[in-house]
Structure 1
Amino acid sequence: MSAHRFDVLGLGNAIVDVIAPVDDEFLVEADVHKGSMQLVDQERAQRLYDAMGATTIVSGGSAANTIAGLSSLGGKGAFVGKVAADEAGRAFAHDIRAAGVHFSTLPASEGPSTARCLILVTPDGQRTMNTFLGACQNLTSADIDAEEVSSAKVLYLEGYLWDPPAAKQAFKTASGIAHAAGREVALTLSDVFCVDRHQQEFLGLMRDGFIDIVFANESELHALYQTADFATAVAALRRENVLAAITRSEKGAVIVRGDETWEVPAAPIENLVDTTGAGDLFAAGFLAGYTRSQPLDYCARLGALAASEIIQHFGARPETELARLADQSLYLREHSRAAEGA
């Protein structure tokens, strides 16, 4: 096994997020399903944008958010994702590099513009996403740098990449390179509607050995095993040869590996603003701990702490240095005290 340059390399959609607060009536009038992520064409994206009113624009993309969070926790991260050679693409590249993340994917010189995700946030903090994939769909196996993939401890794959066929092949190519180098591969299921589209294929990825670590929220797990009962879904998950981290919003998180289970409470918050990126940042914290060989329940607490920061403001990139937040966290110290008393 070669020496590692990165703790985690993320492969995902490079997206600029456009965020606006709206009421539930707006969602009805716009004919969108609350809490969902749906793909839209450029014309539909423009109509929604025109109706949104005042917006906040930040670089996003699920795996990119995770790697930015990892960097904020002091980890060494890299990201692979396709943008166009346009203003939004240059903004994305600038922002992710400014976050301390290695990003060397060449922009597309022709074809559709850089991807945008229009995020409608209702007063309860729930987000409804409308995504124009644009240049994201141009990601191919040619964009995979074998040396970069093989020098990361963990390859982190975004479930949304399973939609565009060329990106799906890039996903498989990168997984093969990582395993050949003795590395681990993680998959985030991304979205319940994404799981609905690809349920059998996602199960196949686990059962065929493409995936070692799975991240999901409770709804995604239910969709994966087509059951409304959490215990039934977890029992099915135990039979897969994976390490799984399941987030349950205010109920905390459950880590499952074979017959072993770790449950951790949610980190406390003062004000819920926007749940965009909560799962992405949970994965960031978990992987930051995991790549430092921390106990799995501590990894989950670090993930929950990172998620708690992100849901208290708009946007899915940290506004507070997460490493400093972790150093000051009573929530993390609770784990240390419990571990000392065990």
Structure 2
Amino acid sequence: MSARVLVVGDVMTDIIVRPEGPMVPGSDRRAEIRNRPGGSGANQAVWLGAAGADVLFAARVGATDRAMYENYFRGLGVVPVLAGDRDLPSGVLVTLLDPGGERSFLTDRGANLNLGPEDLPETLLDGVGLVLVSGYSFFASGPRRAVQGLLRSARARHIPIAIDPASIGFLEEVGPQMFRDWVGPADWIFANEGEAELLTAEADFDGQMRSLGEQFKHVVIKRGRFGAAVGGRDGVSHSQPAPIVSVVDTTGAGDAFAASFVAALLRGVQHGSCLAAGIEGGARAVQFIGGQPQQG
């Protein structure tokens, strides 16, 4: 397997809001507000770069931001393949953090909504050993058609495909079977517990693993503070707990997990060791604000 990974997903500016206390309707509340680069696909690409992977990242941004984002990703070890949109600005995500580090989101996907087939030519697959796609790419018709075309080409070339469902809110809107039909067969899925339950209608953890294993050759279920497990149609093959850490912000923890797992996978290590790498990446991500590795 080639060690190069192609990531397809959103680029967003994350505006992270941490109020000092409960919101006060019609009045003020002091808060810490920060801007940081984000987006599920972007987060995964940057975490992969931080893990030393050879990573390409394909996405769409506002035309005026394109050069800035290209320089940003190159500086973090990611080869950017970014299209510039002249009609829509780059996406923005407002994250509201509660005192426990849990998140609520307000999303304007902006230029990400115009991702098209011309942005994902088959030549992107040259030399690629795995394609990692953020589920956000399936929730709008244009990006969905573009990604489905790329995945057809990947299957024809026998290039492994990994899917991260990304958003339980959007999954609930479209319905689990529709999403599974859109995605089609793939080699890997990285789902959290809520996504796994929604996608399978199974309350039992092992049942979720077996159900997802009917469509995905390998299934990874992220269990937050309980760690994660990997398996497939025969159930769980490896399960590991998570270390106890101080949780500051869970933004991007799933992206860090998936990227760290994939980076280990592309190095050729066993699935149990990939799981350990993913858990370590996710645990590191929750200890600071933002969805990408801290620099410096």
| TM-score between both structures, scaled by the size of structure 2 | 0.91
| Separation (CA, whole Å) in 2 of partners of 1:11 and 1:315 | 20
Change (3 A) 1:156 1:54: same
- The residue that corresponds to 2:227 in the other structure is 252
Alignment map for 1:196-215 (pairs within 5 Å): 196-198=172-174, 199-205=176-182, 208-209=184-185, 211-215=186-190
Residue type matched to 1:280 in 2?
A: D
Structure 1 residue aligned with 2:215: 240
Post-superposition shift, 1:309? 1.2
Distance 1:62 1:241 in 2: 21
The answer to whether structure 1 residue 178 and structure 2 residue 154 are counterparts is: yes
SS at match of 1:214: strand
Provide closer, same or farther for how the CA distance between residues 320 and 255 of structure 1 changes in structure 2, counting only shifts above 3 A.
farther
Deviates more, 1:311-320 or 1:246-255: 311-320
Cross-structure match for 1:77: 55
Cα deviation 1:35-63 (Å, max 9, x = unaligned): xxxxxxxxxxxxxxx98854211111101
Q: CA deviation at 1:307?
A: 0.9
CA distance 1:237–1:18, change in 2 (3 Å): same
Does the 8 Å CA contact 1:150/1:178 hold for their aligned counterparts?
Answer: no
Q: 2:19·2:32 contact (CA, 8 Å) conserved in 1?
A: no
Aligned position for 1:326: none
Cα distance in 1 for partners of 2:19, 2:4 equals 38
SS in 2 for 1:13: coil
Unaligned runs of 5+ in 2: none
Deviation (angstroms), 1:237: 2.4
User: Which moved further from structure 2: 274-283 or 129-138?
Assistant: 129-138
2:284 maps to a residue whose letter is: E
Give secondary structure in 2 for the equivalent of 1:106. strand
Q: Identify the structure with the greater helix proportion.
A: 1
Aligned to 1:94: 71
Conserved in 1, the CA contact under 8 Å of 2:138 and 2:179?
A: no
What is the CA–CA distance in structure 2 between the aligned matches of 1:51 and 1:161, rounded to whole Å?
Answer: 35
| 1:16–1:57 CA contact under 8 A, matched in 2 | yes
Verify: 1:14 aligned to 2:34, yes or no: no
* Aligned counterparts of 1:125 and 1:7: Cα–Cα separation in 2: 33
- Contact 1:221 / 1:233 at 8 angstroms: preserved in 2? yes
Q: 1:77: Cα distance to partner?
A: 0.6
Q: Could you tell me how far 1:225 is from its partner in structure 2?
A: 1.4
Correspondent of 1:187 among 159, 163, 171: 163
Unaligned runs of 5+ in 1: 31-49, 322-342
Corresponding residue number in structure 2 for 1:115:
91
Q: 1:313 to 1:143 in 2, by over 3 A?
A: same
> Which of 247, 262, 268 matches 2:238?
262
Equivalent residues of 2:138, 2:144 under 8 A apart: yes
Q: What is the CA–CA distance in structure 1 between the aligned matches of 2:52 and 2:282, rounded to whole Å? A: 16
Rounded to whole Å, the distance in 2 between the matches of 1:74 and 1:52 is 39
| Pairwise CA RMSD | 2.3
1:123 Cα deviation from its structure 2 partner = 1.1
Aligned to 1:138: 114
Does the Cα contact within 8 Å between 2:62 and 2:84 map onto a contact in 1? yes
Counterpart Cα distance in 2 of 1:150 and 1:177: 11
- Residue correspondence of structure 1 range 296-335 to structure 2 within 5 A: 296-319=271-294
Matched to 1:19, the amino acid is I
User: Which string of whole-angstrom CA distances, capped at 9 and with x for unpartnered residues, describes residues 24-83 of structure 1?
Assistant: 733x859xxxxxxxxxxxxxxxxxxx9885421111110111111111011111111100
- Between Structure 1 and Structure 2, the one with more strand by share is 2
Opposite residue 301 of structure 1, the aligned amino acid is A
Q: Relative to structure 1, is the Cα distance of residues 265 and 63 closer, same or farther in structure 2, using a 3 angstrom cutoff?
A: same
Question: Aligned in 2, Cα 1:228/1:173: closer, same or farther, shift over 3 Å?
Answer: same
Give the count of matched residue pairs: 293
